[in-house]
Structure 1
Amino acid sequence: MLITVVPEIALHAQACGVDTLFIDMETRGKAERQGHLDTHKSAHTYADVARISAVLTTAEVMVRINPPWEGTSAEVDAAIDAGAQRLMLPMFRSVAEVVDFKRAVAGRVPVTLLVETAASLARLPVILPLLDGEDRVHFGLNDLCIDMHLDFLFEVLGGRLLDGPAALCREAGVIFGIGGVGSIGQGTVPAEWIISEHARLGSEWVILSRAFHGGAESLAVLTSRLDLSAELNALQRCYQEFTLTVPSVLEANQANLALRAAAVNIQPQKVA
């Protein structure tokens, strides 16, 4: 999945093999939760959804709406009317919120539940039977890290906190993805170790980080910075190799990831 609202970049990403173009309309509470993090802060609109959906032919247009609130039903309708082909619900905590969301969508498009709270993780066995068809789950590492009072997002993987939830998804036949990833050979935690975890857990997709577009607002700028097709091919090759390797290699990578995630130095906050 790639986040962009630039039609020419969306078309290029589609041609390079991106499966889902991600329009992010989540604003409610996000700055308060993630203001201290270098994460994507959206300012996308329904007009952006319409522009992207108008140019794509094979890639899916997914819209992340706001966390559950009294305006959820109206947001669902507006996003679908604008051309959304899938809707993502973030920051939910209760089964009732999922039921209300599914009722608002009414089967018009498939949904992805963004599991990024401790409560939603604990309630996953009850939530999974509510999904059907092409519905999916995505495990969001940034907010899970915050909600669990951890220091670094990859501690969620390092602590094997998704082993059980991933197994539940596999058993229920619900396909899922996990967090985001940067370019092969880069990152505080090497992208290879992260991709190894995707293979070990059975994850089927990932959000491409800003390393894959760098905030470019035109295709010319993007292509001058990187070869997106080559970057995606490198990720695919890495994933395919790990799906074919022996389990001991995946376990060794997981152990390395855990040690690296635990060793990341977090700067203490200054006391006023």
Structure 2
Amino acid sequence: MKKNRIILTLVGIVIVVVGIITLTVRNSSNKRNSSNTITIGSIGSDVQIWKHIADLPETKKEHLNIKVKSFTDGISLNTATAEGKIDVNAFQSYAYYVAFNKSSKVGKITALGTTYLEPMGIYSNRYKKVHEIPNGSTIALADNPANTARGLKLLERAGLIKLKADFGSLSGTSAIADNPHHFKFKEIDDTTGPRIMKDNSIAAVLIGNTIALEGKLNVLKDSIFHEQVNQSTKENINILATASKNKNDQNLKKLVKIYHSDSVQKYIKKEFGGTKIDVQKPLSYFEN
């Protein structure tokens, strides 16, 4: 009888221990879904925006605690996001996001929602209009595939080159069909764009707005040609992204709503001179 009691007691202890371990594992796996603390990684001026959002009453009302980390390049930020070291990132265009997922060896990321379009611009210290750029000049482009393609599309819209019919979001200079002005193209680290403008061997530089703002440039005023918000630039709309495993996290989805609130948009317009154009579109917009 005593022996049976001991056996039952031991069985009970085992059941309790297993239950505790199971609960601990389950809580650990759901930690991201139940946590109100969100770490956002960003680059350049977007760091300032998310620090502002972190302190807003709207954010506190949603019981969100936002921590913002600054990065200097998109690849390391996307990698940290895919690995779960960063919950959400805010810096990239949809095209850049697609390019990362195609080449990533560390995991995939998922779009949460749209934020804005920052027009890419053509800048020059020497010429005021694109048609003034002399034949045979060198034009600087970003050296990452998504922004190289984006820059080439902008040059086509400016009437300077013609692209092949099958030109894609990751195509490069080899996909130029016609280069009537015999331009040469130099691929650069796009973060150096504002500095490259001072290089006398470069006639024009294509610069994304995040980098332009860091160089004290306003794309609407200082570029000699820039993108417009329309169907042709939809792949250049910026998004919030997270690791694929977090795609249904409701707290992360709240960030999209807060970003588009009136108070946030008034702040962004005032701080960045209208160069971050608010875009509220469903993710299905990119598929049409």
Q: TM-score, normalising length from structure 2?
A: 0.27
The structure having more radius of gyration, on CA atoms, is: 2
Q: TM-score, normalising length from structure 1?
A: 0.28
**Greater length-normalized contact order (CA 8 Å, ≥ 6 residues apart):** 2
Q: Which has the higher strand share?
A: 2
